[in-house]
Amino acid sequence: MLDASFNAKLGDFGLARLVDHGNRSRTTVLAGTMGYMDPECLQSGRYSTESDVYSFGVVVLEIICGRQPLMPPEKTGHSHSHLVQWVWELYGHGRIIGAADV
């Protein structure tokens, strides 16, 4: 969501609150959409506020780049099929403007 000054406001899916982290070291079932889920969450099974921020960032990149978060490498023509990895690769080579959907 955006406020009156167009500042982004992140809504909480509440997934981090659904898990009792005091009783378990990891969850047995992950809830989320591949491509939008925080890689640390996928590895650890723990949701956090940072997981929601990561997912929001993927949505922002999707809007800016005009690409889906996950695409087969043969469709993208790049070594990375995940949008975040592709953008980081461009950034690392000083070609971040190439990510924009123009």
Number of folded domains that form the chain = 1
Let me know if residue 94 belongs to a domain. yes
Let me know if residue 10 belongs to a domain. no
Let me know if residue 5 belongs to a domain. no
Let me know if residue 2 belongs to a domain. no
Distance CA 99, CA 57 (A): 14
**Of 42, 57, 53, 46, whose CA–CA distance to 11 is shortest?**
53
Let me know if residue 3 belongs to a domain. no
Q: Give whole-number Cα distances, 10 to 52, 57, 93, in Å.
A: 8, 10, 30
**Full domain range(s) for residue 29:** 15-99
**Of 21, 18, 20, whose CA–CA distance to 31 is shortest?**
18
Distance CA 14, CA 2 (A): 19
pLDDT in tens, 21-80: 555 445 455 566 778 888 888 788 787 788 888 888 999 999 999 998 987 766 656 666
Q: Which residues are 2's β-sheet partners?
A: 8
* For residue 13, pLDDT beyond 80: no
CATH at 69:
1.10.510.10
Let me know if residue 1 belongs to a domain. no
* For residue 93, pLDDT beyond 50: yes
pLDDT recorded at residue 66: 92
Let me know if residue 91 belongs to a domain. yes
Let me know if residue 4 belongs to a domain. no
Q: Give whole-number Cα distances, 80 to 6, 10, 98, in Å.
A: 32, 27, 15
Q: What is the mean pLDDT of residues 94-100?
A: 94
